[in-house]
Structures are given as structure tokens and as C-alpha cells.
Amino acid sequence: MPVAQTFRPYVILNAAMSLDGKIATFTGDSRMSSAPDMRRVHRLRASVDAIMVGLRTLLVDDPKLSVKFVKGHNPYRIILDSNARTPLTSYVVGTARDVPTIIAVTSTAQRKRIEALKERGVTVLVCGKGPQVSLTFLLRRLRTLGIRRMLLEGGGTLNWSMLSHHLVDEISVAITPRILGGTGAISLVAGRGAARVKDGVKLKLLNFARYGPDLVVRYKVLDPGSVGY
Ligand SMILES: NC(=O)c1ccc[n+]([C@@H]2O[C@H](COP(=O)([O-])OP(=O)(O)OC[C@H]3O[C@@H](n4cnc5c(N)ncnc54)[C@H](OP(=O)(O)O)[C@@H]3O)[C@@H](O)[C@H]2O)c1
């Protein structure tokens, strides 16, 4: 069942991808935005209450998930990590006392790991029994914490989960003028996918603009209930 948007944050999926739809190369290299697009992303970050990523993005990129280049507060950082495997040495854990950081886990996560994260200032939310974090539970909790607008920054696995649970309202993608190829390279949206074109997530083009060499396209998600999964 879709969660009514008033009970969850408004969610904007943002990513940079190659013309062939890859958000990282087969080695995991994902730095592809131009400087003008980076400034757009940081303006977007400064306009939201939280930024969410999946565990593999954290493990590969060790991201800061903070606001640079523009004035603005740092939003909450939210990591989806069913088994509390986020390294204690990661940037987000190391700075959790300065920037509010939530790690969403399941009840199968080891208590010892949860305690270690909490001791470092991380807020740990237990969201369901697994095997993965319950997205609908988590998003309701985030709304009760005052998070009204949230940026989803991937990767492809989490993007699919969020879209297929009808939890994305808007999509911005910066298309970088490269083709990366690679059967194993992560696409904008991974997961099982739609069986038929007519079952795909329906979108409406809102606008497009050039940021340096990149083309940024913005879509509204229409009729999210049509996704079969
Ligand atoms: N170009 C861009 O804009 C961009 C942006 C972001 C990421 N990336 C790239 O994307 C790659 C990572 O993407 P990815 O698809 O491998 O992984 P991902 O989406 O970042 O993370 C997936 C992991 O999140 C955890 N998770 C917990 N609950 C989940 C749920 N309900 N649904 C889905 N995932 C859940 C799972 O690990 P557990 O089962 O252990 O919890 C899952 O394996 C990296 O190379 C990164 O650099 C690129």
C-alpha cells in the first residue's frame, strides 16, 4: 500500500548518470558530475531536511553527505544498513556528534554493533524484522522527527526499493556526456525491474536545463501505484 505523502517526507531522488544510465562504473567509480551540477546538488541538499543513501554507497564512497559551496544547514544523514555494518571509521559515524546521523537497521542487527554506533552519537532506528529495513516504517518515523522533505541519493538498489514501494515523488537526473557500459556497472535503478513497459514507473517531464556539460532533467512521479513488484 502506498504511504500517503502527509505521513512521510516528500522524496526527491537525485543522481548523476552516464548517457547509458550508469551511476557508477564497474569498479564503483561514481564521480561524474560537473562543477556546475555539483553546485546544483548542494543547493538541493541545503533545501531538504535529510539525505538518504544505501549501505553499499556508504561502503564504496564513504560520503560526507553535507552541504558545500552554498550557505545552508547540514540536513540529517540517513543510512539504510539492515545489519548495522556501517564502519565505525566511516566519515558519517566520525562526525555524528556534529551532524545529525540516523542509521536504520532491522531487529536482526547485533546489539553490540548498535551500541557502538550509539556511543559515537549516531541515532539508530530499528525498522522491522528484516531481512531489510522496512521503508514504510522508516519513512513514517522520519516524518515524526520533523523530516518533511528528503533527498534520496541512491544507489541503484535503494532507488528501486523506494520507487517500487511508491515512496518517490520527484526525480532529478544529471546526464553526463559519457557512455560507461559494463554489465556489472550499477544503473540508476537496479532491483528486479518491471516485466512490461506499461508496468514501469510513469513520469511527467517537469523541466530540463544545462549545467555546464551536463543535462539535468526533472520529472514528477505519476501514478506510482502502477509498479508491479
Ligand atoms: N552517480 C550517482 O549519483 C550515485 C549516487 C549514489 C550511489 N552511486 C553509486 O552506486 C553504487 C552503490 O549502489 P548499490 O545499488 O550497489 O547499493 P545501494 O543502493 O547504495 O545500497 C544497497 C544496500 O542498502 C541496504 N538496504 C537496507 N535496507 C534496504 C531496503 N529496504 N532496500 C534496499 N536496500 C536496502 C542493503 O544492504 P543490507 O542488506 O546490508 O542492509 C542493500 O544491499 C556505488 O558504486 C555508488 O558510488 C552513484
Ordered by where they begin, the domains of the chain are 5-226 (3.40.430.10)
Using an 8 Å Cβ cutoff, are 53 and 78 in contact?
yes
Position 97 scores a pLDDT of: 97
Q: Classify 7 as helix, strand or coil.
A: helix
Ligand 1: centre distance to CA 79 (Å): 9
Which three three-digit cell numbers place residue 186? 550499477
- Summarize pLDDT for 66-100 with one digit per residue, the tens: 999 888 889 999 999 999 999 999 999 999 999 99
Which three three-digit cell numbers place residue 56? 553499499
Ligand 1: centre distance to CA 190 (Å): 9
Q: Is the shortest distance between the CB of 213 and ligand 1 below 6 Å?
A: no
Which three three-digit cell numbers place residue 27? 569498479
Beta-carbon count within 10 A of 94 CB: 15
Give the pLDDT band of residue 225 (cuts 50, 70, 90): very low
What are φ and ψ of residue 110, in 5° steps?
-65, 135
Query: Regarding beta strands 214-222 and 170-176, do their DSSP bridges make them parallel or antiparallel, or are they unpaired?
Result: antiparallel
Q: Is the shortest distance between the CB of 123 and ligand 1 below 6 Å?
A: no
Is the confidence at residue 221, as pLDDT, over 90?
Answer: yes
Read off the pLDDT of each residue in 19-40 and give the average, rounded to a whole number: 96
**What is the value of pTM for the model shown?**
0.95
Read off the pLDDT of each residue in 42-52 and give the average, rounded to a whole number: 97
Ligand 1: centre distance to CA 57 (Å): 5
Q: Classify 210 as helix, strand or coil.
A: strand
Position 223 scores a pLDDT of: 63
Give the pLDDT band of residue 49 (cuts 50, 70, 90): very high
Position 3 scores a pLDDT of: 58
Write the residue with the smallest CA distance to atom 16 of ligand 1: 56
Read off the pLDDT of each residue in 47-63 and give the average, rounded to a whole number: 97
Q: Is the shortest distance between the CB of 54 and ligand 1 below 6 Å?
A: yes
**How many CA atoms are closer than 13 Å to the CA of 156, on its beta-carbon side?**
19
Q: Is the shortest distance between the CB of 61 and ligand 1 below 6 Å?
A: yes
Give the pLDDT band of residue 152 (cuts 50, 70, 90): very high
- Alpha-helical segments (H) within the chain: 35-46, 55-61, 91-94, 111-119, 135-144, 156-164
Is the confidence at residue 227, as pLDDT, over 60?
Answer: no
